[in-house]
Amino acid sequence: MFMKKAIELAKKGLYKTCPNPAVGAVIVKDGKIIGKGYHKKAGLDHAEVVAIKSVSDKSLLNGATMYVTLEPCNHYGKTPPCSLAILNSHIKRVVIGMLDVNKTASGSVQFLKGKGLDVTVGCLEEACCKLNEIFITNITKQRPFYAMKAAMLLNGCISIKGGVSRYITSTESLEYVHRLRSRYNGVLVGINTILMDDPLLNCRIKRCNQPKRIVLDAFLKIPLSAKIFSFNPTNIYIATRASSDLNKKSILQSMGVNIIECALSGDGIDLIDLSKKLLERDICSVLVEGGSRIHGSFLSANLYDKAHLFYAPKITGSYGAFNVIGSQAASDFSEVKNLKTYTCRRIGNDIIVEGDF
């Protein structure tokens, strides 16, 4: 029950703490919650410290129990170690949801046990892991968390003949896409999507987090007249090869656009190199919005962690249309990618399938 409360608190920080994990903590004495806190934003106090500070009569902490969704940090980062704050608070028992996957910050279980505290690990572990799927992916895979987003017909086509792809899904689906965008640090498209659809790629919900807008454009074909440039160019990141048109690069940079020079793989951006460079820029989670070849290359490279797939109840032939996955099919069923868990529901007149790879 107390860990559930800590998870609820952690969720308040969800999508805002990047590159840090979302963490919640409650302090319990004699079966009552006497303190609580969550991590709001990187650089601000961690959940444990917020919770300790929330207790005005510090004498109450003596012999109290802390429930915290993630192993407290044990190192000096932007803030001092939480393990030390817990020790100094005279809390006597710590119940931890999941161990920290970040080796630099972990170690507080041993530290606190060594100091005589009672430490339990693994309470509601699955829910705590789910909470930090982005953080865990960042640390363990050293890349952003990638989610595939696509709107398609019932047979997987994202366009009709000639690549026309607008207005496949309903207003309700589009609204949900805007909510999704606010949950990711970045949205990403390939240059063909810019050339064909000319999207803004913003989040049209008031006061939402505007995601960084990332365009993969190996040969820097993006026209300076693209709509994406019509506001806030400083949150645009164009990934291109080092040898792309220097003049165009400097015009873009003078507009405030960020250029990420990446290695090539075949005739596209090398996604491993890109991933490293996005993470260096604290872009921890990316909603990949296509098109066909982009989804094909992310899927083939096994980079998708999650999928948000919208289906309109419409169907047409596939010849001359773009399929959502523009890459070679598996030649054996063992190579097909599976959604391990997923949900399926109606959204407006469409269907949405959301799941984890």
Q: Residue 23 and residue 40: Cα distance in Å, rounded? A: 9
Length of the chain measured in residues: 357
Contact between 355 and its own copies by CB under 8 A: the answer reads yes
As a whole number of angstroms, the distance between CA 146 and CA 290 comes to: 12
CA 146/CA 283 separation, integer angstroms: 11
Q: What own/partner pairs with CB < 8 Å and gap ≥ 24 does 250-259 have?
A: 251/224, 252/224, 255/229, 257/229, 257/233, 258/234
| C-beta closer to its own copies: residue 263 or 353 | 353
Binding mask 115-154 for its own copies (x = CB under 8 A): -------------------------------------xxx
The answer to the question of residue 309 lying near its own copies (CB under 8 A) is yes
For residues 312 and 170, the answer to whether their CB atoms sit within 8 Å is yes
Q: Which residues pair with 186 in a beta bridge?
A: 212, 286
CB count within 10 Å of CB 96 equals 26
Note whether 296 binds its own copies by CB under 8 A: yes
Residues 149-208 that bind its own copies (CB under 8 A): 152-157, 159-162, 164, 167
Residue 83 vs 165, nearer CB to its own copies: 165
Paired strand residues for 27: 35, 66
Contact region with its own copies (CB under 8 A), list: 17-25, 124-132, 267-275, 346-354? 346-354
Choices 13-21, 92-100, 133-141, 299-307 (CB under 8 A): range interacting with its own copies: 299-307
Stretch that binds its own copies, among 85-93, 137-145, 282-290, 337-345 (CB under 8 A): 337-345
Instruction: Decide if 354 is catalytic.
Output: no
Instruction: Judge whether 55 and 61 are in contact, CB under 8 Å.
Output: yes
By CB under 8 A, is residue 337 in contact with its own copies? yes
- Interacting span for its own copies (CB under 8 A) from 23-31, 71-79, 248-256, 341-349: 341-349
Determine if 267 is a binding residue for its own copies (CB under 8 A): no
* Min separation Cβ 164 and its own copies, Å: 7
- Return the structure tokens found at 4: 């559930």
Please report how close the Cβ of residue 337 comes to its own copies at its closest, in angstroms.
5
Applying CB under 8 A, does 332 fall inside the site for its own copies?
Answer: yes
Shortest Å distance, C-beta 167 to its own copies: 7
**Could you give the CA distance from residue 263 to residue 239 in angstroms, rounded to a whole number?**
9
Site for its own copies in 46-85 (CB under 8 A): none
| 275 CB burial (10 A radius; 0-12, 13-18, 19+) | buried
- Edge-first strand order for the sheet with 306-311 is 258-262, 236-241, 212-216, 186-190, 285-288, 145-152, 306-311, 350-356, 341-347
Q: Quick one: CA dihedral 101, 278, 203, 194, positive or negative?
A: negative
Q: Which has the closest alpha carbon to 65: 117, 110, 17? A: 117
Considering the complex, state which of residue 110 and residue 338 has its C-beta at the smaller distance from its own copies. 338
Q: Is 37 annotated as a binding residue?
A: no
323 binds its own copies (CB under 8 A): yes
Minimum distance from CB of 339 to its own copies (Å)? 4
Catalytic residue among 48, 125, 133, 280: 48
For residue 125, which of 15, 264, 3, 275 has the smallest C-alpha distance?
Answer: 3
Q: Is 355 annotated as a binding residue?
A: no
* Residue 291 assigned as binding residue: yes
Residues forming contacts to its own copies in the complex (CB under 8 A) are 152-157, 159-162, 164, 167, 296, 299-300, 307, 309, 311, 313-321, 323-333, 335-339, 342, 344-346, 351, 353, 355
Annotated binding residues for substrate, written as ranges, equal 165, 181, 201, 204, 289
Mind telling me the catalytic residues?
A: 48
